[in-house]
């Protein structure tokens, strides 16, 4: 079965009401896989679909509640962890986006007086970006609300299951990092 073909969610029970209405295609690719597909592919697609659903919900809530995009929130999160500031290249590496993207996000945050560029003391040709006092205050508020949203979105998973998932994903990350080092 092609993975891009719209299909019904096999986990969803068929009802008489379904026969009367046209159902929208299922966007979760993992639900369309068959027994013939490799288990690793199923796992990857399930993780991807969960990540995309959560990320889209967080994007929407950040925009509606704070008028901020997820990339701007992420840049502020990086700076919050590094009060001494980070160089643009380091921000680009940490956020896994181009330098041009970092420049654009930084420009927007600087216009709003949430970040400031300061000359890098180790290299006079470079700049570091730091949160301003207003930026730190705004991020603290957003981060607290963001944490609540994540807790809400994952509330149906027990604490023990969350702990086990964290352990399993840490094991996966370790294996993937080891591959990179080879």
pLDDT digits (tens, 9 = 90+) for 31-50: 666 666 688 888 999 999 99
Task: Provide, for the chain, the percentages of residues in helix, strand and coil under a 3-state DSSP scheme, each rounded to the nearest 5.
Answer: 65, 10, 30
- Which position has the higher pLDDT, 162 or 99? 162
Domain ranges of the chain: 68-181
pLDDT tens digit string along 164-174? 999 999 999 99
Distance between CA 75 and CA 62 in Å, rounded? 14
Which residues share a beta bridge with 119?
127
List, in order, residues 6 or more apart from 127 with CB less than 8 Å away. Answer: 87, 88, 117, 118, 119, 120
Average pLDDT over residues 154-176: 96
**What per-residue confidence (pLDDT) applies to 14?**
36
pTM greater than the 0.85 cutoff: no
Length of the chain measured in residues:
182
Q: What is the pLDDT of residue 123?
A: 81
Tell me the average pLDDT across 43-72.
96
CATH of 68-181, one of 1.10.10.10, 3.40.50.720, 1.10.3720.10, 3.40.50.300: 1.10.10.10
CB 164 within 8 A of CB 108: no
DSSP helix/strand/coil, 96 = coil
Structure tokens that stand for 80 in this block: 């919050």
């Amino acid at each position: 079965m092609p993975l891009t073909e719209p299909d019904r969610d096999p986990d969803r029970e068929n009802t008489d009401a379904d026969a009367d209405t046209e159902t929208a295609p299922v966007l979760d690719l993992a639900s369309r896989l068959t027994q013939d597909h490799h288990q690793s592919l199923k796992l990857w697609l399930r993780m991807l679909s969960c990540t995309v659903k959560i990320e889209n919900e967080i994007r929407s809530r950040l925009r509606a509640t704070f008028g901020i995009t997820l990339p701007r929130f992420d840049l502020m999160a990086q700076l919050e962890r590094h009060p001494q500031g980070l160089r643009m290249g380091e921000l680009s590496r940490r956020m896994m986006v181009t330098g041009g993207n970092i420049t654009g996000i930084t420009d927007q945050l600087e216009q709003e007086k949430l970040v400031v560029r300061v000359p890098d003391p180790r290299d006079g040709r470079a700049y570091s970006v730091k949160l301003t006092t207003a930026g730190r205050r705004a991020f603290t508020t957003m981060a607290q609300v963001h944490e609540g949203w994540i807790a809400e979105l994952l509330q149906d998973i027990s604490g023990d299951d969350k702990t086990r998932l964290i352990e399993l994903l840490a094991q996966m990350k370790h294996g993937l990092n080891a591959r990179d080092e080879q």
